[in-house]
């Protein structure tokens, strides 16, 4: 077996760095891409750091050129770049916040997969897109922008998978629950900021705080997700989606009819 090359975006983050380590430890040569300069600290014999901003097409194209200096084919692209912030859909600078999240979480994948597609085709590779439990579960209040991006990732991944069936290129969705990463801290900080700035939802947010705290307290080790991504990358016949440590509480909510679910929130918000 020859040298196996994989590109990982969001490589400086908690999930990204754990995934880079898992892949390199399994013998893969990893192009570790991230917008942060700190990704350069990940350099190692099987790890080549690349500064790449998934929101900037010129940056993505430059990354393609850098990778091509080493190889003209990839066995996989793993899209982990993402940002998260909680917020109201009717207060604050919600348009800019939503646009920024869509640009990273959804359009970032579109740019990267399109730019590296020819290399994936030559390498008979596969695409791994990180969605979320939020991408298929009922949408929760005050997490609208993030949920929108992950619903879009689900639709994008499903459409892309079916488009590429004839070319033999698997497209795989990863649907993780909460993990102990910087995104978790961003979620908590943005929730506190919302509580301090909201005009309409202060009492509601205070009632919801214990539920959110419970979910964050149950966050999992990123190495658990990295192990699943490694399996998805290496499987001869990968599944279309992998759910990893999804919330039991939110899972139960999936069993409740929409009307009843809304009634529960209506009670909380009185």
The average pLDDT across 46-70 equals: 98
The average pLDDT across 164-178 equals: 97
Instruction: Using alpha carbons, select from 56, 50, 43, 58 the residue that is nearest to residue 103.
Output: 56
269/193: higher pLDDT? 193
CATH of domain 5-268: 3.40.50.720
- The pLDDT of residue 1 is 59
The yes-or-no verdict on residue 26 having pLDDT over 70 is yes
- Of 86-95, 136-145, 248-257, which gets the smallest average pLDDT? 248-257
For helices 202-217 and 258-268, the axis angle rounded to 10 degrees is 110
**Per-residue confidence band for 211, with pLDDT thresholds at 50, 70 and 90:** confident
**Per-residue confidence band for 164, with pLDDT thresholds at 50, 70 and 90:** very high
The average pLDDT across 23-42 equals: 96
Give the strand order in the sheet containing 5-8.
47-51, 29-34, 5-8, 76-79, 126-130, 171-176, 241-244
Which tokens go with 257?
Answer: 């009819």
The average pLDDT across 102-118 equals: 98
- The pLDDT of residue 213 is 86
The average pLDDT across 10-32 equals: 97
Average pLDDT, the chain: 95
pTM of the model: 0.95
Give per-residue pLDDT as tens, 212-237: 888 888 889 999 999 999 999 999 99
Active-site residue 200, yes or no? no
Give me the catalytic one of 146, 151, 156, 242: 146
Instruction: Using alpha carbons, select from 32, 1, 31, 28 the residue that is nearest to residue 16.
Output: 32
Cα separations in angstroms, 240 against 141, 162, 245: 28, 10, 17
- The pLDDT of residue 142 is 95
**Per-residue confidence band for 168, with pLDDT thresholds at 50, 70 and 90:** very high
The average pLDDT across 159-182 equals: 96
- The pLDDT of residue 214 is 85
């Amino acid at each position: 077996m020859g040298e196996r090359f994989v590109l990982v975006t969001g490589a400086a983050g908690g999930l990204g760095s754990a995934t880079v380590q898992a892949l390199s430890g399994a013998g893969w040569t990893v192009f570790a891409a991230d917008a942060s300069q700190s990704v350069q600290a990940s350099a190692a014999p099987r790890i080549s750091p690349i500064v790449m901003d998934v929101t900037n097409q010129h940056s993505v194209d430059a990354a393609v050129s850098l990778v091509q200096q080493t190889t003209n084919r990839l066995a996989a692209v793993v899209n982990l770049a993402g940002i998260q912030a909680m917020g109201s859909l009717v207060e604050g600078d919600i348009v800019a916040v939503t646009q920024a999240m869509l640009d990273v979480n959804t359009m970032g994948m579109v740019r990267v997969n399109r730019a590296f597609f020819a290399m994936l085709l030559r390498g008979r590779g596969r695409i791994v897109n990180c969605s979320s439990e939020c991408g298929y579960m009922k949408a929760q209040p005050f997490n609208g922008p993030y949920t929108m991006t992950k619903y879009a990732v689900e639709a994008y991944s499903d459409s892309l998978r079916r488009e590429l069936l004839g070319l033999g290129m698997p497209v795989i969705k990863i649907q993780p629950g909460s993990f102990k990463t910087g995104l978790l801290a961003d979620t908590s900080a943005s929730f506190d900021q919302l509580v301090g700035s909201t005009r309409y939802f202060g009492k509601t947010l205070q009632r919801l705080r214990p539920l959110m705290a419970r979910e964050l307290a149950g966050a999992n080790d990123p190495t658990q997700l990295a192990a699943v991504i490694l399996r998805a990358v290496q499987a001869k016949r990968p599944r279309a989606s992998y759910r990893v440590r999804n919330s039991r509480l939110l899972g139960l909510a999936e069993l409740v009819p929409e009307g009843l679910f809304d009634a529960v929130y209506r009670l909380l918000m009185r």
